[in-house]
Amino acid sequence: MSIKQAVFQINGEEYGLDITKVSTIEKDLEVVKAEKMPKNIKGKINLRGTEIPVFSLRRKFNLPDEEADKDTRYLITNAGDVQIALEVDLVKGIKDFDQSDVFDVPEVLKNSGTSYLKSIAYSDGELILLLDSNLLLSDDEVNALKMPKSN
Distance, CA of 10 to CA of 112 (rounded, Å): 21
Q: Return all residues near 131 (Cβ < 8 A) that are at least 6 apart.
A: 15, 16, 17, 116, 117, 118
In this prediction, residue 29 has a pLDDT band, given cuts at 50, 70 and 90, of very high
Every domain of the chain and the residues it spans:
2-145
Q: What pTM value is reported for the model?
A: 0.90
pLDDT, one tens digit per residue, over 104-133 is: 988 777 776 788 999 999 988 889 999 999
Superfamily of domain 2-145: CheA-289, Domain 4 (2.40.50.180)
pLDDT, one tens digit per residue, over 48-88 is: 999 999 999 999 999 999 999 999 999 999 988 899 999 99
Dihedral over Cα of 88, 96, 2, 15: its sign: negative
